[in-house]
């Protein structure tokens, strides 16, 4: 499966004025990470996930995600994860497209990123006014890199 995703910084002031849906807490960490691939464990709300992602090329990469039992995700995080990301995710619909907006916590407090998955790199879309700089290809905003700051 292929993931094609744009990532943008979010204007905190404009974002704070929005009437937002209820967020979901996400806790995630990496069992393995390199330029070639990552293996991530995530708890999103009351569900667990194991995700394998390939090397990022532009805004695309291979992605395989599997739902796993919550207790197993919790155990994997306890056993294998030394640093993890805490963030609240908001799913905001804009012009029929779902934007996933992450507000980071802990040492990443203040960072807000918006992601939009698309069907192809040529697909056009309308950016909301609270979206600013495109950081899709900037590795410093990849979660696998951000986790080193936690």
Per-residue H/E/C for 89-129: EEEEEECCEEEEEEEECHHHCCCEEEEEECCCCCCCCCCCC
Whether 30 is catalytic is yes
Each residue of 11-35: b (16+ CB within 10 Å) or e? beeebeeeeeeeeeebbbbbeebee
Nearest C-alpha neighbor of 112 from the set 88, 76, 144: 88
Distance from C-alpha of 132 to C-alpha of 124, rounded to nearest angstrom: 16
Active-site position among 30, 49, 66, 84: 30
Residues with catalytic roles: 30
């Amino acid at each position: 499966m292929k993931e094609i995703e744009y990532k943008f910084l979010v204007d905190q002031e404009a974002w704070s004025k929005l009437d937002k849906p209820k967020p979901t807490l996400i806790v995630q960490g990496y069992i393995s990470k390199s330029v070639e691939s990552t293996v991530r464990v995530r708890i999103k709300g009351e569900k667990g996930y194991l995700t394998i992602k390939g090397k990022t090329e532009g805004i695309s990469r291979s992605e395989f995600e599997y739902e796993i039992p919550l207790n197993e995700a919790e155990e994997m995080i306890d056993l294998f994860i030394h640093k993890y990301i805490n963030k609240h995710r908001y799913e905001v619909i804009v012009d029929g497209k779902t934007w996933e907006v992450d507000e980071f916590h802990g040492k990443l407090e203040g960072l807000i990123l918006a992601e939009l998955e698309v069907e192809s790199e040529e697909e056009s879309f309308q950016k909301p006014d609270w979206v600013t700089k495109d950081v899709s290809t900037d590795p410093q905003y990849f979660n696998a890199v951000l986790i080193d700051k936690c």
